[in-house]
Chain A
Amino acid sequence: MKIYFESLAMHLKGELEYRVNFILSFLSQILVFFTYYFIIIALFTKFDHIKGFTMYEVLLCFSIIQFGFSFNEVFARGVDHFDQLIIRGDFDRLLLRPRNIILQVLCSDSDFVKTSRLIQAIIVLIVAIVNLNIKWSILKLVTLLLMLGSACVIFFGIFLAAAAYCFFTVQGLEVRNVFTDGGKHMAQYPIGVFKKGFVWFFTFIIPYAFVNYYPLLYFLGKKESVLYAFSPLLVVFYLIPCILVFYFGMKRYTSVGS
């Protein structure tokens, strides 16, 4: 763990060396992120609700998903950009070191420009909650924290599985976006608003529903059962197959040379 924080500090120092570039990229990321919630706000000027969810309820859901995604973009950049490690042949170097391989991949890169998204996600979250008129209780606070945490976990799992894809081929990498960006786009809305088959898929195959739907129902007071509040904990089990896939891919890894 100490190694990870040390390398994080190192990457931060490295990025701040190019100050103007950092600030400009930071600003443009703010704008890019703005386009995301612009879509939602624009659509809600024409529609009152989406299957019973109001604008602020959707924004709450949106901010939780974006928080988890950006969190991984900042702190697990090495997993997100794993193809670079493979293509450059740097992965071979990591294999030689006597440390856990996933930890080393985590240490290999980070992207602090994306903190601009993280900060905006938190702002949207606060704005949504202030406008929602929630009847607070300790359990609801726990639910909210669990949702945020599970959002980070689920994207870490997805990124890891997508990284495993690179062990088999580095061609057609756009396909990975289907699972990361495409999934993220859908999960901005409470998964329950979609058709049955998709709800099933996003509950059991990629468990977004446990991040942004079942706990959300409890949080908004639409469901009373405590089971809903603790459902985000199930997402941890999702990490197991993702890690297994990663190690399975690594066994079949053949270096690209250089």
Chain B
Amino acid sequence: MRAYLTYFKLKFISSLQYRTAAWAGIATQFFFGFVYIMVYVAFYESGGKNLPMELPQLVTYLWLNQSLLALVNQFSRDQELFKLIKEGGISYELTRPKNLYFMWYFKIIGQRLANVTLRFIPLVLVTSLLPDPFHFGLPASFVHFIFFILSLSLGTLLVTALSVFYPIVTLTTMSEKGIVNIIITIADILSGIVVPIPFFPKFLQIISSFLPFQYISDLPFRLYVGNVNLADGVFGMCIQLIWIIIFILIGNIMMNKNIKRVVVQGG
């Protein structure tokens, strides 16, 4: 376990060095948050029927989305791992007497946590000072906040378990584009990053509830704003746990299978 934690710490500390990138990221996410909110404000001012969320709740949801994007998004991939596979560095990884799956798992989680640490504090501070309708609100209640923290932690474990799949697949395909890109696009829609899940048409909401993606960030964010009641929150967290276990198991099996077929590229 200690070895894995060292991997986590190494990746965390080295990722903290990229501060200029973080400032650019903050500026971009701040602006995009504004843009998304403006569109919704225009919609809400036009009136609608049976809206699934109140505007202040939705605004807080969207700011959470922007400030925690580095933690919960599907599209950022650890370029270093792909390089390792494509340029032959993988052979060094294979000589290490540790489980490769968990080495990668802890590297990815370290990077995600470092990236979000640099970004979310300035975003949350500034947006909570904004006037209505752009104001980033407080959690629905203290208990909701605790639930939010718990399910966000589980969501992080879940998104990491998903992200490890991409380099594992690349072990045999040698290209992280193509099929992986298609999966990521679908995952992005169904995780609620584009439109929050309650705004989906009914049939898609049902399909989505059987898939893992909405349990990454949609569940924790809706717990924060109080759009999900606590009983459903507990139920959701159980589902999160089940998906995490399933993915780590499948990931390990695939890793063992693919590692036998791996071809070292170059030297």
B38 x A194 contact (CB < 8 A): yes
Docked complex: B5-61 residues within 8 A CB-CB of A: 20-21, 23-25, 27-28, 31-32, 35-36, 38-39, 41-43, 45-52
On whether the beta carbons of A50 and B46 are closer than 8 Å, the reply is yes
Q: Are B182 and A43 in contact (CB under 8 A)?
A: no
**A42 to chain B: which residues have CB within 8 Å?**
195, 199-201, 204
Known: A28-B181, A28-B182. A174 touches B46 (CB 8 A): no
Is B234 an interface residue when CB atoms closer than 8 A count as contact? no
CB of A43 within 8 A of CB of B31, answer no
With A24-B178, A52-B46, A182-B32: A195-B185 Cβ-Cβ less than 8 Å: no
Q: Given contacts A48-B48, A50-B43, A51-B42, are A31 and B186 in contact (CB under 8 A)? A: yes
**A38 touching B189, Cβ below 8 Å:** yes
Closest Cβ neighbor of B21 among chain A residues? A172
Q: Which residues of B contact A (CB under 8 A)?
A: 20-21, 23-25, 27-28, 31-32, 35-36, 38-39, 41-43, 45-52, 175, 177-179, 181-182, 185-186, 188-189, 194-195, 199-201, 204
Q: Which residues of B contact A186 (CB under 8 A)?
A: 35, 38-39
Q: How far is the CB of B48 from chain A (nearest CB, A)?
A: 4
Cβ-defined contact, B35 with A43, below 8 A: no
A-B contact count (CB 8 A): 104
Report A165-196 CB contacts with B as 1/0, cut-off 8 Å.
00000011111011000100110010001110
Residue on B with the closest CB to A169? B20
Contacts of A173 in B (CB 8 A): 24
Closest-CB distance, A183 to chain B (whole angstroms): 9
Whether B27 contacts A175 by the Cβ 8 Å rule is: yes
A43 touches B195 (CB 8 A): yes
A9 at the interface (CB under 8 A from B): no
Instruction: List chain A residues, Cβ under 8 A from B36.
Output: 185
Q: Are B42 and A194 in contact (CB under 8 A)?
A: yes
B42, A27: Cβ atoms closer than 8 Å = no
Contacts known (A42-B201, A178-B27); A172 close to B177, Cβ less than 8 A: no
Residue of B nearest to A31 (CB): B185
Cβ contacts under 8 Å, A32 to chain B: 185
Q: A49 on the interface (CB 8 Å rule)?
A: yes
Which A residues lie within 8 Å of B45 (CB)? 51
5 A–B contact pairs at CB < 8 A?
A: A42-B195, A42-B204, A174-B21, A182-B32, A189-B42
- Across the two chains, which residue of chain B brings its CB closest to A184? B35
Using Cβ atoms and an 8 Å threshold, which residues of chain A touch B28?
Answer: 174-175, 177-178, 182
A46 touching B24 in the complex, CB below 8 Å, given contacts A27-B182, A182-B31, A194-B38: no
Q: Which of B23, B47, B52 contacts A172 (CB 8 A)?
A: B23
- Provide the bound-state CA to CA distance between A50 and B39, in Å: 9
Do residues B177 and A46 form an inter-chain contact, with CB atoms below 8 A? no
Residues from 126 to 179 in A contacting B, C-beta threshold 8 Å: 171-175, 177-178
Minimum distance in angstroms from A165 CB to a CB of chain B: 12
The 10 closest A-B CB pairs, nearest first, are A172-B24, A24-B178, A47-B48, A193-B42, A174-B24, A28-B181, A174-B28, A178-B31, A31-B185, A28-B182
